[in-house]
Protein backbone atom coordinates (compact mmCIF):
# COMPACT_ATOMS: atom_id res chain seq x y z
CA UNK A 1 0.00 0.00 0.00
CA UNK A 2 1.53 3.26 -1.07
CA UNK A 3 0.47 6.69 -2.20
CA UNK A 4 2.76 9.66 -2.31
CA UNK A 5 2.61 12.48 0.20
CA UNK A 6 2.37 15.95 -1.33
CA UNK A 7 3.40 19.19 0.34
CA UNK A 8 0.71 21.77 0.96
CA UNK A 9 2.02 23.92 -1.87
CA UNK A 10 1.97 20.96 -4.28
CA UNK A 11 -1.61 20.25 -3.27
CA UNK A 12 -2.53 23.88 -3.71
CA UNK A 13 -1.11 24.09 -7.20
CA UNK A 14 -2.76 20.81 -8.24
CA UNK A 15 -6.16 21.91 -7.01
CA UNK A 16 -5.92 25.33 -8.68
CA UNK A 17 -4.72 23.67 -11.88
CA UNK A 18 -7.76 21.34 -11.79
CA UNK A 19 -10.08 24.26 -11.13
CA UNK A 20 -8.64 26.05 -14.13
CA UNK A 21 -9.64 23.07 -16.29
CA UNK A 22 -13.24 23.30 -15.11
CA UNK A 23 -15.66 25.55 -16.93
CA UNK A 24 -15.70 28.86 -15.09
CA UNK A 25 -19.10 30.43 -14.48
CA UNK A 26 -17.46 33.87 -14.16
CA UNK A 27 -15.48 33.94 -17.37
CA UNK A 28 -17.08 31.57 -19.87
CA UNK A 29 -20.29 31.38 -21.88
CA UNK A 30 -22.52 29.14 -19.77
CA UNK A 31 -26.19 29.75 -20.21
CA UNK A 32 -27.49 26.19 -20.31
CA UNK A 33 -27.20 24.70 -16.83
CA UNK A 34 -29.02 25.37 -13.56
CA UNK A 35 -25.75 25.75 -11.64
CA UNK A 36 -23.55 28.68 -10.71
CA UNK A 37 -20.93 29.88 -8.21
CA UNK A 38 -21.99 30.35 -4.58
CA UNK A 39 -23.99 33.40 -3.58
CA UNK A 40 -21.61 36.35 -3.68
CA UNK A 41 -23.25 38.29 -0.84
CA UNK A 42 -22.15 35.53 1.50
CA UNK A 43 -19.22 34.01 -0.39
CA UNK A 44 -17.37 36.96 -1.87
CA UNK A 45 -14.86 35.69 -4.35
CA UNK A 46 -12.38 38.56 -4.06
CA UNK A 47 -11.35 37.68 -0.48
CA UNK A 48 -7.55 37.86 -0.54
CA UNK A 49 -7.06 34.63 1.43
CA UNK A 50 -8.79 32.56 -1.25
CA UNK A 51 -5.67 32.33 -3.36
CA UNK A 52 -4.12 30.28 -0.54
CA UNK A 53 -7.27 28.32 0.20
CA UNK A 54 -7.78 25.58 -2.40
CA UNK A 55 -10.73 23.93 -0.64
CA UNK A 56 -12.65 27.17 -0.10
CA UNK A 57 -11.91 28.23 -3.66
CA UNK A 58 -13.34 24.93 -4.92
CA UNK A 59 -16.35 25.33 -2.66
CA UNK A 60 -17.04 28.79 -4.09
CA UNK A 61 -16.48 27.69 -7.71
CA UNK A 62 -19.09 25.04 -6.86
CA UNK A 63 -18.34 22.24 -9.35
CA UNK A 64 -21.01 19.54 -9.66
CA UNK A 65 -19.65 15.97 -9.80
CA UNK A 66 -23.00 14.48 -10.83
CA UNK A 67 -22.66 10.95 -12.23
CA UNK A 68 -19.70 8.56 -11.95
CA UNK A 69 -16.36 9.41 -13.54
CA UNK A 70 -14.42 6.17 -13.42
CA UNK A 71 -15.84 4.70 -16.61
CA UNK A 72 -17.11 5.60 -20.06
CA UNK A 73 -15.91 8.41 -22.29
CA UNK A 74 -19.11 10.36 -21.93
CA UNK A 75 -19.10 12.70 -18.95
CA UNK A 76 -20.34 16.08 -18.02
CA UNK A 77 -17.28 17.94 -19.22
CA UNK A 78 -18.01 21.20 -17.42
CA UNK A 79 -16.02 20.05 -14.40
CA UNK A 80 -13.53 17.61 -15.89
CA UNK A 81 -10.63 19.20 -13.97
CA UNK A 82 -11.81 18.48 -10.45
CA UNK A 83 -13.38 15.20 -11.57
CA UNK A 84 -9.82 14.05 -12.33
CA UNK A 85 -8.95 14.58 -8.66
CA UNK A 86 -11.95 12.46 -7.68
CA UNK A 87 -10.65 9.75 -10.00
CA UNK A 88 -7.27 9.88 -8.29
CA UNK A 89 -9.01 9.64 -4.92
CA UNK A 90 -11.02 6.59 -6.01
CA UNK A 91 -7.83 5.05 -7.41
CA UNK A 92 -6.01 5.48 -4.08
CA UNK A 93 -8.90 3.91 -2.18
CA UNK A 94 -9.49 1.00 -4.57
CA UNK A 95 -5.93 0.17 -5.62
CA UNK A 96 -3.84 1.10 -2.61
CA UNK A 97 -6.15 0.59 0.35
CA UNK A 98 -8.18 -2.33 -1.05
CA UNK A 99 -5.64 -3.91 -3.45
CA UNK A 100 -7.68 -3.71 -6.67
CA UNK A 101 -5.98 -4.17 -10.03
CA UNK A 102 -6.05 -1.06 -12.24
CA UNK A 103 -9.24 -0.63 -14.31
CA UNK A 104 -11.19 -3.29 -12.44
CA UNK A 105 -13.38 -1.01 -10.29
CA UNK A 106 -15.65 2.01 -10.28
CA UNK A 107 -16.53 4.43 -7.52
CA UNK A 108 -17.73 7.84 -6.47
CA UNK A 109 -17.99 10.14 -3.48
CA UNK A 110 -21.48 9.61 -2.09
CA UNK A 111 -23.25 11.62 0.58
CA UNK A 112 -22.21 9.15 3.26
CA UNK A 113 -22.05 5.54 4.32
CA UNK A 114 -25.83 5.35 4.23
CA UNK A 115 -26.00 6.22 0.55
CA UNK A 116 -23.06 3.96 -0.29
CA UNK A 117 -24.67 1.01 1.51
CA UNK A 118 -28.02 1.59 -0.18
CA UNK A 119 -26.30 1.97 -3.56
CA UNK A 120 -24.81 -1.52 -3.03
CA UNK A 121 -28.15 -3.10 -2.10
CA UNK A 122 -29.78 -1.37 -5.08
CA UNK A 123 -27.15 -2.71 -7.50
CA UNK A 124 -27.47 -6.30 -6.30
CA UNK A 125 -31.27 -6.22 -6.21
CA UNK A 126 -31.34 -5.05 -9.82
CA UNK A 127 -28.63 -7.52 -10.76
CA UNK A 128 -30.80 -10.42 -9.57
CA UNK A 129 -33.89 -8.95 -11.20
CA UNK A 130 -32.13 -8.48 -14.53
CA UNK A 131 -29.89 -11.56 -14.72
CA UNK A 132 -32.19 -14.08 -13.00
CA UNK A 133 -35.62 -12.49 -13.45
CA UNK A 134 -35.86 -12.61 -9.67
CA UNK A 135 -38.81 -11.13 -7.84
CA UNK A 136 -38.09 -9.07 -4.71
CA UNK A 137 -39.63 -11.82 -2.56
CA UNK A 138 -36.79 -14.09 -3.59
CA UNK A 139 -34.00 -11.71 -2.56
CA UNK A 140 -32.82 -11.40 1.05
CA UNK A 141 -30.19 -9.24 2.71
CA UNK A 142 -28.14 -11.04 5.36
CA UNK A 143 -26.46 -8.99 8.11
CA UNK A 144 -25.47 -9.22 11.75
CA UNK A 145 -27.46 -7.81 14.64
CA UNK A 146 -24.68 -5.24 15.21
CA UNK A 147 -25.08 -3.85 11.68
CA UNK A 148 -25.62 -0.12 11.11
CA UNK A 149 -29.24 0.93 10.64
CA UNK A 150 -28.59 2.10 7.08
CA UNK A 151 -28.84 -1.53 5.96
CA UNK A 152 -32.40 -2.04 7.35
CA UNK A 153 -33.20 1.40 5.92
CA UNK A 154 -32.10 0.26 2.46
CA UNK A 155 -33.99 -3.02 2.82
CA UNK A 156 -37.13 -1.04 3.58
CA UNK A 157 -36.65 1.29 0.60
CA UNK A 158 -35.87 -1.51 -1.82
CA UNK A 159 -38.55 -3.87 -0.59
CA UNK A 160 -36.14 -6.70 0.17
CA UNK A 161 -36.37 -9.55 2.65
CA UNK A 162 -34.20 -9.34 5.71
CA UNK A 163 -32.20 -11.96 7.58
CA UNK A 164 -30.62 -10.67 10.77
CA UNK A 165 -27.96 -12.89 12.32
CA UNK A 166 -27.29 -13.30 16.03
CA UNK A 167 -23.93 -12.23 17.37
CA UNK A 168 -22.12 -13.80 20.28
CA UNK A 169 -22.68 -11.58 23.33
CA UNK A 170 -19.01 -11.49 24.28
CA UNK A 171 -17.03 -11.80 21.03
CA UNK A 172 -19.67 -9.89 18.97
CA UNK A 173 -18.96 -12.37 16.17
CA UNK A 174 -21.68 -13.71 13.92
CA UNK A 175 -22.95 -17.02 15.28
CA UNK A 176 -22.21 -19.34 12.36
CA UNK A 177 -24.77 -21.91 13.51
CA UNK A 178 -27.40 -19.18 13.29
CA UNK A 179 -26.22 -18.26 9.78
CA UNK A 180 -26.51 -21.90 8.71
CA UNK A 181 -29.99 -22.32 10.15
CA UNK A 182 -31.36 -19.07 8.80
CA UNK A 183 -30.00 -19.63 5.28
CA UNK A 184 -31.46 -23.14 5.29
CA UNK A 185 -34.83 -21.82 6.43
CA UNK A 186 -34.75 -19.02 3.81
CA UNK A 187 -34.00 -21.51 1.02
CA UNK A 188 -36.89 -23.66 2.17
CA UNK A 189 -39.15 -20.61 2.05
CA UNK A 190 -38.21 -19.84 -1.55
CA UNK A 191 -35.48 -17.25 -1.14
CA UNK A 192 -33.00 -17.87 -3.93
CA UNK A 193 -30.74 -14.84 -3.98
CA UNK A 194 -28.72 -13.36 -1.14
CA UNK A 195 -27.04 -10.02 -0.54
CA UNK A 196 -24.50 -10.38 2.24
CA UNK A 197 -23.39 -7.37 4.27
CA UNK A 198 -20.12 -7.82 6.14
CA UNK A 199 -19.03 -5.19 8.66
CA UNK A 200 -15.43 -4.11 8.51
CA UNK A 201 -16.01 -2.54 11.91
CA UNK A 202 -19.41 -2.01 13.43
CA UNK A 203 -20.40 1.42 14.71
CA UNK A 204 -21.17 0.43 18.29
CA UNK A 205 -18.41 -2.09 19.03
CA UNK A 206 -15.72 -1.77 16.40
CA UNK A 207 -16.17 -5.50 15.85
CA UNK A 208 -15.12 -6.91 12.48
CA UNK A 209 -17.22 -9.71 10.99
CA UNK A 210 -15.26 -12.90 10.32
CA UNK A 211 -15.71 -12.80 6.57
CA UNK A 212 -13.71 -15.99 5.94
CA UNK A 213 -15.96 -18.07 8.18
CA UNK A 214 -19.07 -16.66 6.55
CA UNK A 215 -17.93 -17.05 2.94
CA UNK A 216 -16.58 -20.55 3.46
CA UNK A 217 -20.04 -21.61 4.57
CA UNK A 218 -21.76 -19.75 1.70
CA UNK A 219 -19.36 -21.19 -0.86
CA UNK A 220 -19.74 -24.67 0.58
CA UNK A 221 -23.50 -24.68 0.15
CA UNK A 222 -23.26 -22.96 -3.27
CA UNK A 223 -25.87 -20.33 -2.72
CA UNK A 224 -26.19 -17.41 -5.08
CA UNK A 225 -24.84 -14.35 -3.28
CA UNK A 226 -23.26 -10.94 -3.72
CA UNK A 227 -21.21 -9.52 -0.87
CA UNK A 228 -20.89 -5.89 0.19
CA UNK A 229 -18.48 -4.65 2.85
CA UNK A 230 -19.65 -1.87 5.15
CA UNK A 231 -16.40 -0.11 5.96
CA UNK A 232 -18.13 3.21 6.61
CA UNK A 233 -16.50 3.32 10.02
CA UNK A 234 -13.48 1.05 9.60
CA UNK A 235 -12.44 1.81 6.02
CA UNK A 236 -9.75 4.35 6.76
CA UNK A 237 -8.36 2.65 9.87
CA UNK A 238 -8.65 -1.16 9.81
CA UNK A 239 -6.72 -1.74 6.55
CA UNK A 240 -3.86 0.26 8.10
CA UNK A 241 -3.78 -1.31 11.53
CA UNK A 242 -4.34 -4.87 10.28
CA UNK A 243 -2.44 -5.58 7.08
CA UNK A 244 -3.23 -9.28 6.83
CA UNK A 245 -6.96 -9.58 6.34
CA UNK A 246 -9.44 -10.73 3.72
CA UNK A 247 -11.18 -7.39 3.28
CA UNK A 248 -9.85 -6.35 -0.11
CA UNK A 249 -10.51 -6.78 -3.83
CA UNK A 250 -8.12 -9.75 -4.05
CA UNK A 251 -10.90 -11.60 -2.28
CA UNK A 252 -13.13 -12.75 -5.14
CA UNK A 253 -16.13 -13.07 -2.85
CA UNK A 254 -16.29 -9.30 -2.29
CA UNK A 255 -18.04 -7.05 -4.83
CA UNK A 256 -18.17 -3.63 -3.15
CA UNK A 257 -17.11 -1.40 -0.24
CA UNK A 258 -18.48 1.63 1.58
CA UNK A 259 -15.95 3.85 3.37
CA UNK A 260 -16.72 7.16 5.06
CA UNK A 261 -14.39 10.10 4.63
CA UNK A 262 -16.34 12.02 7.26
CA UNK A 263 -15.47 9.66 10.10
CA UNK A 264 -11.82 8.64 10.59
CA UNK A 265 -10.52 10.81 7.76
CA UNK A 266 -11.79 14.06 9.31
CA UNK A 267 -13.33 15.24 6.05
CA UNK A 268 -16.51 17.36 6.06
CA UNK A 269 -19.87 15.56 6.11
CA UNK A 270 -21.01 14.44 2.71
CA UNK A 271 -17.97 12.30 1.90
CA UNK A 272 -18.95 8.64 1.88
CA UNK A 273 -17.06 6.64 -0.72
CA UNK A 274 -18.57 3.82 -2.72
CA UNK A 275 -16.34 1.33 -4.54
CA UNK A 276 -17.51 -1.58 -6.67
CA UNK A 277 -16.04 -4.02 -9.14
CA UNK A 278 -16.44 -3.07 -12.80
CA UNK A 279 -19.66 -3.86 -14.63
CA UNK A 280 -21.86 -3.54 -11.56
CA UNK A 281 -22.88 0.12 -11.63
CA UNK A 282 -24.65 -0.52 -14.93
CA UNK A 283 -27.45 -2.20 -12.94
CA UNK A 284 -28.40 1.16 -11.45
CA UNK A 285 -28.04 3.22 -14.60
CA UNK A 286 -30.93 5.65 -14.79
CA UNK A 287 -31.53 5.89 -18.52
CA UNK A 288 -34.13 8.56 -17.92
CA UNK A 289 -31.27 10.89 -16.85
CA UNK A 290 -31.43 12.28 -20.35
CA UNK A 291 -29.96 15.69 -19.64
CA UNK A 292 -26.90 14.28 -17.84
CA UNK A 293 -24.15 13.53 -20.30
CA UNK A 294 -22.94 10.01 -19.51
CA UNK A 295 -26.13 9.21 -17.51
CA UNK A 296 -26.38 8.82 -13.74
CA UNK A 297 -25.45 5.73 -11.72
CA UNK A 298 -25.68 7.23 -8.24
CA UNK A 299 -28.44 7.55 -5.70
CA UNK A 300 -27.85 11.22 -4.94
CA UNK A 301 -27.62 12.94 -8.34
CA UNK A 302 -25.92 16.32 -8.06
CA UNK A 303 -23.06 16.31 -5.59
CA UNK A 304 -20.36 18.67 -4.45
CA UNK A 305 -17.04 18.46 -6.26
CA UNK A 306 -15.47 20.32 -3.35
CA UNK A 307 -16.18 17.33 -1.10
CA UNK A 308 -14.28 14.99 -3.40
CA UNK A 309 -11.38 17.43 -3.70
CA UNK A 310 -11.22 17.76 0.04
CA UNK A 311 -10.93 13.99 0.66
CA UNK A 312 -8.22 13.86 -1.99
CA UNK A 313 -6.36 16.69 -0.24
CA UNK A 314 -6.47 14.91 3.13
CA UNK A 315 -5.15 11.64 1.70
CA UNK A 316 -2.41 13.48 -0.18
CA UNK A 317 -1.20 15.69 2.66
CA UNK A 318 -0.54 12.59 4.80
CA UNK A 319 0.52 10.08 2.18
CA UNK A 320 0.06 6.40 3.04
CA UNK A 321 2.91 6.39 5.54
CA UNK A 322 1.66 9.43 7.43
CA UNK A 323 -1.85 8.04 7.58
CA UNK A 324 -0.56 4.74 8.85
CA UNK A 325 1.27 6.42 11.72
CA UNK A 326 -1.78 8.49 12.61
CA UNK A 327 -4.07 5.45 12.79
CA UNK A 328 -1.58 3.42 14.80
CA UNK A 329 -1.34 6.19 17.36
CA UNK A 330 -5.11 6.08 17.89
CA UNK A 331 -5.03 2.33 18.31
CA UNK A 332 -2.16 2.56 20.79
CA UNK A 333 -3.99 5.15 22.85
CA UNK A 334 -7.07 2.89 22.81
CA UNK A 335 -4.94 -0.02 24.04
CA UNK A 336 -3.73 2.04 26.98
CA UNK A 337 -7.36 2.49 28.09
CA UNK A 338 -7.95 -1.26 27.85
CA UNK A 339 -4.89 -2.05 29.98
CA UNK A 340 -6.42 -0.08 32.84
CA UNK A 341 -9.84 -1.65 32.36
CA UNK A 342 -8.18 -5.06 32.57
CA UNK A 343 -6.46 -4.13 35.83
CA UNK A 344 -9.77 -3.07 37.34
CA UNK A 345 -11.66 -6.08 35.97
CA UNK A 346 -14.08 -3.92 34.06
CA UNK A 347 -15.99 -5.79 31.38
CA UNK A 348 -15.75 -4.29 27.90
CA UNK A 349 -15.46 -5.16 24.20
CA UNK A 350 -12.63 -3.99 22.02
CA UNK A 351 -11.22 -5.20 18.69
CA UNK A 352 -7.41 -4.95 18.94
CA UNK A 353 -7.07 -3.10 15.60
CA UNK A 354 -9.71 -0.47 16.26
CA UNK A 355 -10.17 2.65 18.32
CA UNK A 356 -13.50 1.87 19.97
CA UNK A 357 -13.92 0.62 23.54
CA UNK A 358 -17.45 -0.44 24.46
CA UNK A 359 -17.87 -0.69 28.21
CA UNK A 360 -20.46 -2.85 29.95
CA UNK A 361 -22.93 -0.34 31.43
CA UNK A 362 -22.98 -2.28 34.72
CA UNK A 363 -19.51 -0.96 35.41
CA UNK A 364 -20.24 2.72 35.06
CA UNK A 365 -22.74 5.27 36.32
CA UNK A 366 -24.93 7.12 33.89
CA UNK A 367 -23.62 10.39 35.34
CA UNK A 368 -20.06 9.54 34.40
CA UNK A 369 -21.11 8.38 30.93
CA UNK A 370 -23.05 11.61 30.46
CA UNK A 371 -20.24 13.80 31.76
CA UNK A 372 -17.85 12.47 29.11
CA UNK A 373 -20.51 12.13 26.40
CA UNK A 374 -20.12 8.39 26.01
CA UNK A 375 -22.70 7.03 23.61
CA UNK A 376 -25.11 4.32 24.85
CA UNK A 377 -26.28 1.44 22.67
CA UNK A 378 -29.84 2.68 23.19
CA UNK A 379 -31.51 5.71 24.69
CA UNK A 380 -34.05 3.76 26.76
CA UNK A 381 -34.22 3.32 30.53
CA UNK A 382 -31.22 1.08 30.79
CA UNK A 383 -28.40 0.97 28.26
CA UNK A 384 -26.30 -2.19 28.07
CA UNK A 385 -23.19 -0.51 26.77
CA UNK A 386 -21.42 2.82 26.65
CA UNK A 387 -18.76 3.42 24.03
CA UNK A 388 -15.60 5.47 23.86
CA UNK A 389 -14.34 6.38 20.40
CA UNK A 390 -10.73 7.51 20.42
CA UNK A 391 -10.93 10.12 17.68
CA UNK A 392 -8.07 12.55 16.91
CA UNK A 393 -9.39 15.15 19.40
CA UNK A 394 -9.32 12.64 22.25
CA UNK A 395 -6.04 13.32 24.02
CA UNK A 396 -4.28 11.61 26.91
CA UNK A 397 -5.35 14.31 29.40
CA UNK A 398 -9.07 13.82 29.02
CA UNK A 399 -8.64 10.06 29.03
CA UNK A 400 -6.67 10.29 32.28
CA UNK A 401 -9.41 12.38 33.89
CA UNK A 402 -12.09 9.96 32.79
CA UNK A 403 -10.10 6.95 33.93
CA UNK A 404 -9.52 8.45 37.38
CA UNK A 405 -13.25 8.99 37.83
CA UNK A 406 -14.00 5.53 36.53
CA UNK A 407 -11.53 3.99 38.95
CA UNK A 408 -13.08 5.88 41.86
CA UNK A 409 -16.46 4.49 40.90
CA UNK A 410 -15.18 0.94 41.01
CA UNK A 411 -14.73 1.22 44.76
CA UNK A 412 -18.48 1.59 45.12
CA UNK A 413 -19.34 -0.43 41.97
CA UNK A 414 -22.64 0.64 40.44
CA UNK A 415 -25.03 -2.11 39.55
Ligand X SMILES: *Cc1c(COP(=O)(O)O)cnc(C)c1O
Q: Hey, is 162 helix, strand or coil?
A: strand
Please give the Cα distance from 157 to 299 (Å, whole number): 12
Backbone angles phi and psi of 390, in degrees to 5: -85, 85
Residues 110-139 that bind ligand X (CB under 6 A): 112-114, 117
**DSSP states of 68-86:** --SS-S----TTHHHHHHH
Q: Which residues pair with 112 in a beta bridge?
A: none
Least separation, in Å, of the C-beta of 148 and ligand X? Answer: 3
Closer to ligand X by CB, 19 or 394: give it: 394
Q: How many other β-carbons are positioned within 10 Å of the β-carbon of residue 210?
A: 15
**How many Å is the Cα radius of gyration of the chain?**
23
Residues found in the chain: 415
Contact by Cβ (8 Å): 70, 108: yes
Minimum CB distance to ligand X smaller for 107 or for 294: 107
Q: Which of 69, 148, 172, 303 binds ligand X (CB under 6 A)?
A: 148
The answer to the question of residue 233 lying near ligand X (CB under 6 A) is: yes
We find the least distance from the C-beta atom of residue 124 to ligand X, in angstroms, to be: 17
Residue 64 or 202 having the CB closest to ligand X = 202
Q: Binding ligand X by CB under 6 A: which of 76, 95, 138, 230?
A: 230
Residues 310-369 that bind ligand X (CB under 6 A): none
Please select the residue that binds ligand X; options are 144, 203, 304, 307, rule is CB under 6 A.
Answer: 203
Q: Work out which of 67, 107, 261, 272 binds ligand X, going by CB under 6 A.
A: 272
CA atoms within 13 A on the CB side of 65: 29
Is residue 76 near ligand X by the rule CB under 6 A? Answer: no
Segment near ligand X (CB under 6 A), from 10-18, 75-83, 91-99, 108-116?
Answer: 108-116
What is the rounded distance in angstroms from the CA atom of residue 300 to the CA atom of residue 337?
40
CA distance 48 to 119: 41
> At closest approach, how far in Å is the CB of 231 from ligand X?
8
Q: Minimum Å distance from CB 265 to ligand X?
A: 12
**CB atoms near residue 211 (< 10 Å):** 21
- In whole angstroms, the minimum distance from the beta carbon of 144 to ligand X comes to 11
Element (H or E) spanning 224, and its range? strand 224-231
Question: CA-CA distance, 273 to 270, in Å (whole number)?
Answer: 9
Span interacting with ligand X, options 89-97, 199-207, 344-352, 367-375, rule CB under 6 A? 199-207
Q: Which of 134, 227, 232, 327 binds ligand X (CB under 6 A)?
A: 232
Residues 247-266 that bind ligand X (CB under 6 A): 260
Please work out, in degrees rounded to the nearest 5, the angle formed at the alpha carbon of residue 206 by the alpha carbons of 146 and 376: 65
State in angstroms the smallest separation of the CB of 330 from ligand X: 16
Binding window for ligand X (CB under 6 A); candidates: 81-89, 214-222, 225-233, 333-341: 225-233
Contact between 81 and ligand X per CB under 6 A: no
Burial of 7 (0-12, 13-18, 19+ CB in 10 A): exposed
Q: For residues 22 and 199, which CB has a smaller minimum distance to ligand X in the complex?
A: 199
Cα–Cα separations (whole angstroms), residue 65 to 55, 91, 211, 298, 313: 15, 16, 33, 11, 16
**Quick one: how many helices (H) and strands (E) in the chain?**
11, 11
Q: Give the shortest CB-132-to-ligand X separation in angstroms.
A: 28
Please choose, out of 174-182, 196-204, 341-349, 402-410, the segment that lies near ligand X by the rule CB under 6 A: 196-204
Nearer to ligand X, 232 or 280 (CB): 232
How many chain residues interact with ligand X (CB under 6 A)?
A: 14
Residues in contact with ligand X by the rule CB under 6 A? 112-114, 117, 148, 150, 199, 202-203, 230, 232-233, 260, 272
Amino acid sequence: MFWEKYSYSQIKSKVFESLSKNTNYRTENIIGIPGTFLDTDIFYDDAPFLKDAPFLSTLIANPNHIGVHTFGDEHEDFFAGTQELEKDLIKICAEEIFSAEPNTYDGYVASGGTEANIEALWIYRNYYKKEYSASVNEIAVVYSADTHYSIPKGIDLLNLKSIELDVHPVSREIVIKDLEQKIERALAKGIKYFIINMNMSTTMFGSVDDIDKVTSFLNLVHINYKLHVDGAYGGFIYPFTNRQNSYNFKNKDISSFSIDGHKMLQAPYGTGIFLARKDLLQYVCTNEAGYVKGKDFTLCGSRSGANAVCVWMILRIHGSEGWNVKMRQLVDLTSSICEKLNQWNIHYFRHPDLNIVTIDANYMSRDLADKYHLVPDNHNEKPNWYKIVVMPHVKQGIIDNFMTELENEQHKRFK
